[in-house]
Structure formats: structure tokens, C-alpha cells
Structure 1
């Protein structure tokens, strides 16, 4: 690296500059304050942990996204967190060990080995909420509501919510009696929504069989109308599948009642996070967006590896994406008071007093006063031996 390119940052990593950094920080504070009013307590886990803790119950996808390094003190393999959800599960299971329901929230950077999309970064600022200790459907509803309210606070317009339930796919694959090799091939085809490939793998299936039901569900994506179609296709399915369909309908009804402007969609073979999700999963999209702005779901099994299995559900989002999507303009906040570069004890006392609740920019002796004034809408002017606030354009 030469002197001329030492300023370069790695691909997918960028600085947060004014005024974007301030907008992101303001939204972070607003969201955390809002979640605190719901009873969610703030946690701040470390950036690095032993690898087995970070990857507990999360499957191969998170493993590939995690930067790995060797701990020079112990020789053990460590990882830089790529997701804060496993850390929250560890804190609930081992750190807090509270009885009953525990509500946690967080905001912090995570690091990915590769971006999630062509336009995405590798150092998201992850925010989210996790609810432990309740298997009630009302807990899933609470998390979905919090997620949609967070998007509203961020100013995201025209939100679309996708709902799915991993139990439907799990039950159908188990009932189809496929070999391990074929299960992996079917999983890959369903995840890519490759219906022709799925037909090649499953072949001719008897009507009403689990294989035939899976083939019929794979292309079924849409609004409320597909929920009724899925219920008809799965009429002979297990009670767990019927309960999953009921859960989807219940949450959809509740969300529609509280957020009538949010459009709803259903995908009965959504396999995002399949390795650790155990129930309802959901994702929210903005207008014209292909990548989810926020997503989450139920993950009841992760805590078992920490010695305390607990029902759990939660969501997370990238605060940087939310802020930039909601407002990409570089509008400078001019609500500040200009103070001249004058060595006057009365002026310094007045500046200190004002800074308790106002922004005051005092010019330095060698500073361009015109540039300092351009950041302000008012100024301190000495009249009759006292310093008064006046509009900056006042003469």
C-alpha cells in the first residue's frame, strides 16, 4: 500500500460522515427509547466471542459470514459476531437466568465476510429485539408489531410484510420419507424456488401425499388468497401443519387490524434461517426493495446449547439501511448559535449557560468566521455590555 492509497477502506466498509452519522444516532436513540417503553432492556454484548458460542444452533449460513481468528491467550478459535441474536440467547440462558418472560434489545455493529446484496455493506449496524420465555402466539405478534413500528419511526413508506412458517416444510419433508441426500437436494431447490428442479427430484407423487403437497405449495406465493389455497392443498396434512396455518392467519388478522396500510404476503416454502427457526418467520420490505429491511422469527431451540432451553422470538434490522432509505438527503441542521472569537469572561459564561440546551459554535481566532456562521441561524451580539441572541441576518 502506497502513501497515496492509505485512506482506502476495505470493500463493503465505509465511514459514517456528518450529517448521516447524526441521523443514524438520532434514530438509534429513538428506537431504543421506544423499546424501553415496551419493557425491553438494553444489552451490549462483545464484538468477539469463542466461535462455538457465536454459531450455536445457527447453521452453515452464519458460519460462512463470520470472520474467524485465533485467541493468542488460549489458542482457541474466536469469531467476530455476524449476528447479535445468538449473543442475546446466551445472555438470557446463562447471564441473566431470569424466570418468566425476558425482553432484550440491542444496537451494535456486526461484521460480515461478504455483503448480503450487491449494494449492501459488510459492517451493518444491527438493532433488534428478542423476547424469551413465552411460546404464546401473542409473543410473535408483539415482535412483529415492534418491527413494523420501528420502520414507521424510521419513516419507511409502503411497507410489505411477508409471513411464513417453517413447520409446514419440516412436516412435509419428514412425511415424504426422503433420504438424507434427496432432502438436501429438495431443500436447495425449494430455497431457490426452482419448481422444475423440484419436479425432477420428487417425480410423480400420489395425490394427497406429502410430496404432492410440497410440489403444490412450492410456487404458491401471494396475498390473502393463497392462504385459502394452502389450506385446501393441506387439508389432509398433520395437525402441526394445520396449527401453523392457523398461526399465520391469526397474525395476519392482527397485523391488518393495527397496520391497515401494510400489505401482506405469504410464502409457504420460505427457508430463510431454516437451520435455527422453529415456527413463524417474517420479513418486511420497503417500496420496490428486493432485500428485507427487517426480519425475524421464532427460534425456540438455541438456548438448549447454552444449558437452558427457552421459547424465543425476535427481529433485527440494519440501522444504516433504514436511515439512508428513509432520508438520503444531506440537509445540514442550522439550528445553532454563533459566538465570535472574543476573549470575554461574560461571553464565556453566556456560552456555557446556553450549551446546556443549545448548540453554540464559537469561532477560533484563526477560523473562517463566514464558514462558522454558515452553520448557524442565530448569533451572540454584545449590546449595552451584555451578550444577546439575535437572528444571524439582523444588523
Structure 2
């Protein structure tokens, strides 16, 4: 086996792709800051007990684990930054007011989430802590849509769901509550037959409501169908009203769909949830939602909502950027030459000095000008190369 061969679903990022990713990262983080979000940088690894606190089984299975040579304790390489940022809010910042935090960094997965996905996503996201109202959910949804608009995506589909619907149904029947993990898996797969077998012994009202969920998907009008098909419970009424408000706030910016069985964020989500899709990719490019209970694991429960996306996956969908115009300059230590190169670089130009005996070959730059001496041999000027 060649010693340079990388593990499956792990890949180098070459210059032109790396530039796209980095420009997206800077663009989005700058926009987060304009909304008032403060940047934090959680560590790549920490003790497993802390890293997985508040997370679900899915996160545990995706997390690489190793033994710390200093303490002898088990460490984990983060598979998701959301719980880390929740720990920072609850345990380190410990503010009483609303806190807006954002982040960007690599995460590692033991297994890829799809056939052509990487096990080393570059996760970027934003979170709001301390406000339980729908206003925070609406702001996070708006910020996620704005992020895709900044990246150049004009055709976006917003899929909405709400964990409150399922929670209200499960609260009706203790037997259903015990099977909630299996129920969620069947709902995700829209396995109506399997759901029918599992719920055969449930109370009739609970069983009917659960069997209705896989078919409650479509445009905003599906909310009317849901109100008629589901039990008249305060939790369900509240959830459907929140979905209607979030859908209304996105009209004009995205195609809106609602799917009450799309519970793929179930591991720690507690309220409204959303996923964003763009042409060219079957998977969601961004996911977000409310997760009010994660902070409890760190001793301080705080209302929380946020979203995240993988910049590497997003960059793959974007066209290759045009090569940047650059200036070719000869190698030399003459003060006049060095001063001219410094002046050009300070003005924002890319100046590439040709090392002796080599030609320039770059993926990102096209030298359309050259720095040469004028006819007098005393002044450095720019010459167009055509």
C-alpha cells in the first residue's frame, strides 16, 4: 500500500477548492458578526463525558475515541460542535442575557453520512441562547437562508418539521413513550407498515395520530390537514402555529415544504426544526432547530436554537472560480525592485516572483502582466502580456 494513500472518505483539498472554502468561511463569519454573533473556537478533542453530554446515540457512534496519554481518561474527537458551544454558553460565559455565538472548524466522523460525503466536514454554524420565543427560531432560519444567498444559491427549498408534534402524541400513551427511539426511526423511513405493527397495542388515538404523521407532508396547506388529522392538544396546536409563522417568514426567499415525519435531528432537538436543500445535492446542505435541553448536562438549562452546515460539501456545488489576475516579477534583491513589489502588494495586487530556473505554474493565478525595466533600465513598469 502506498504510504501516501489516505483512509476512505478522507481527502486532501487542493488549491482552487481550498480557496472557495476559505472565501465562503470568511464571507459567512463576517455576516454572522453583522448580526451580532461572537466567534468561539472549541477544542478539537475533549473528555468523552463532556463531549457527548446532551448528545444522542448517533453522535456517540460517529465519534472517534482514544486514550489520553497524560490522564489515562478517554478522549473524543468532536463529531459535532453544537454541544461544545452549548457548554461554552452554559459553563464558561454564564451570561444571564441572550447570547449569540458562531463557530467554524473541522469535525471528524467514524463513518460517512452518505456515499460521496467526507468523514472530515468543515462545520460552520450559529446559535442563540437565552430566548425561548419564536423570534430566535426565525432569526436563525433567516441567517441560514442569508448564508446560502451569500454563497450564490438562488434556488433553495426550506423543509420544516417540529418535535413538539411527536412529543405531544407520545405523552398520551406511556407505552408509546417507551418506544420513542423505534418510532422515530420508522417515521424517518416513512415505514407505515412497520409503524402499524409497532403501534398495534397502543391506545387508538395514539396509534391513529402516529400513523397519520408519515402522510403529513407537502406545502403550507398541509397544516390544515394536520389540524384535522391530529388530536386537539395544546402541544400540537402550538407546534403547528409555529410552523405556520416560520413558513410565512421564508416566503419569497425559499420554496417552503413541511414534513411532520422528518425527524432526522431527533437526537437533541426539542422544537421547530428545518433543513435547507439546493439543486445538485440530494442531502440537506444545512440543518437547524431548537434544542432547549442540551445545557442541562452542563448544569444550566438554557433555551437554545441554531443551525450548521458543511462548507466542504457546499463548496463542491459551486463553479470553479476564475483564476485571479497576477503580476509576474523577476527574482532579485535590488532595492528598487523590492520596493516596487511591496508597493504593488500593498495595493492589493498578487505579485509572483519567478525563482531562477523555474516557470510559474499555479491553479489559482494567471499572470497577465509582468514587472520589467523600462527602456532606460532604471524604472520598473508593468507590461501587459496579452
In structure 2, C-alpha distance between the alignment counterparts of 1:299 and 1:183, rounded to whole Å = 17
1:40 corresponds, among 20, 37, 45, to 37
Q: 2:354 maps to what in 1?
A: 363
In structure 2, C-alpha distance between the alignment counterparts of 1:370 and 1:342, rounded to whole Å = 20
Q: Please say if residues 125 and 306 of structure 2, whose CA atoms lie closer than 8 Å, have aligned partners that are also in contact.
A: yes
Q: How does 1:345-364 map to 2 (within 5 A)?
A: 345-356=335-346, 357-364=348-355
Q: Deviations over 1:73-121 (max 9, x none)?
A: 1111110000000110010011111121110111100000000000101
Q: Please say if residues 334 and 377 of structure 1, whose CA atoms lie closer than 8 Å, have aligned partners that are also in contact.
A: no
In structure 1, C-alpha distance between the alignment counterparts of 2:29 and 2:239, rounded to whole Å = 31
Q: 1:274 to 1:391 in 2, by over 3 A?
A: same
Question: Offset of 1:370 from its aligned partner?
Answer: 8.3
Q: Deviations over 1:102-159 (max 9, x none)?
A: 1011110000000000010100000000110111101000000110111111122421
The reply on whether 1:75 has 2:68 as its aligned counterpart is no
The reply on whether 1:24 has 2:21 as its aligned counterpart is yes
Q: Please say if residues 162 and 260 of structure 2, whose CA atoms lie closer than 8 Å, have aligned partners that are also in contact.
A: yes
In structure 2, C-alpha distance between the alignment counterparts of 1:184 and 1:163, rounded to whole Å = 20
Q: 1:240 to 1:16 in 2, by over 3 A?
A: same
The reply on whether 1:390 has 2:383 as its aligned counterpart is yes
Q: How does 1:142-157 map to 2 (within 5 A)?
A: 142-157=139-154
In structure 2, C-alpha distance between the alignment counterparts of 1:204 and 1:262, rounded to whole Å = 41
Q: Please say if residues 187 and 213 of structure 2, whose CA atoms lie closer than 8 Å, have aligned partners that are also in contact.
A: no
Q: 1:124 maps to what in 2?
A: 121
2:91 corresponds, among 89, 94, 119, to 94
In structure 2, C-alpha distance between the alignment counterparts of 1:314 and 1:54, rounded to whole Å = 18
Q: How does 1:1-395 map to 2 (within 5 A)?
A: 1=1, 5-178=2-175, 182-203=179-200, 209-234=205-230, 236-256=231-251, 260-287=252-279, 289-327=281-319, 329=320, 331=321, 333-356=323-346, 357-368=348-359, 375-383=366-374, 384=376, 385-393=378-386
Q: 1:12 to 1:168 in 2, by over 3 A?
A: same
Question: Offset of 1:225 from its aligned partner?
Answer: 2.2
Q: Please say if residues 158 and 286 of structure 1, whose CA atoms lie closer than 8 Å, have aligned partners that are also in contact.
A: yes
Taking structure 1 as the reference length, the TM-score comes to 0.92
Q: Please say if residues 205 and 212 of structure 1, whose CA atoms lie closer than 8 Å, have aligned partners that are also in contact.
A: no
In structure 1, C-alpha distance between the alignment counterparts of 2:67 and 2:78, rounded to whole Å = 14
- RMSD over aligned CA atoms reads 2.0
Question: Offset of 1:182 from its aligned partner?
Answer: 4.2
In structure 2, C-alpha distance between the alignment counterparts of 1:370 and 1:309, rounded to whole Å = 55
Q: 1:135 to 1:386 in 2, by over 3 A?
A: same
In structure 2, C-alpha distance between the alignment counterparts of 1:274 and 1:343, rounded to whole Å = 62
Q: Please say if residues 108 and 121 of structure 2, whose CA atoms lie closer than 8 Å, have aligned partners that are also in contact.
A: yes
Stretches of structure 2 that go unaligned for 5 or more consecutive residues are none
Question: Offset of 1:269 from its aligned partner?
Answer: 2.1
Stretches of structure 1 that go unaligned for 5 or more consecutive residues are none
Q: Please say if residues 277 and 284 of structure 2, whose CA atoms lie closer than 8 Å, have aligned partners that are also in contact.
A: yes
Aligned length: 383
Question: Offset of 1:305 from its aligned partner?
Answer: 1.2
Q: 1:94 to 1:204 in 2, by over 3 A?
A: closer
**Secondary structure class of the residue paired with 1:155:** coil
In structure 2, C-alpha distance between the alignment counterparts of 1:43 and 1:323, rounded to whole Å = 23
Q: Deviations over 1:195-226 (max 9, x none)?
A: 1111222238777x122122112222111121
In structure 2, C-alpha distance between the alignment counterparts of 1:121 and 1:298, rounded to whole Å = 26
Q: 1:298 to 1:182 in 2, by over 3 A?
A: closer
Q: Please say if residues 90 and 301 of structure 2, whose CA atoms lie closer than 8 Å, have aligned partners that are also in contact.
A: yes
Q: Deviations over 1:16-64 (max 9, x none)?
A: 1111111111111111111101000111111001111111111100000
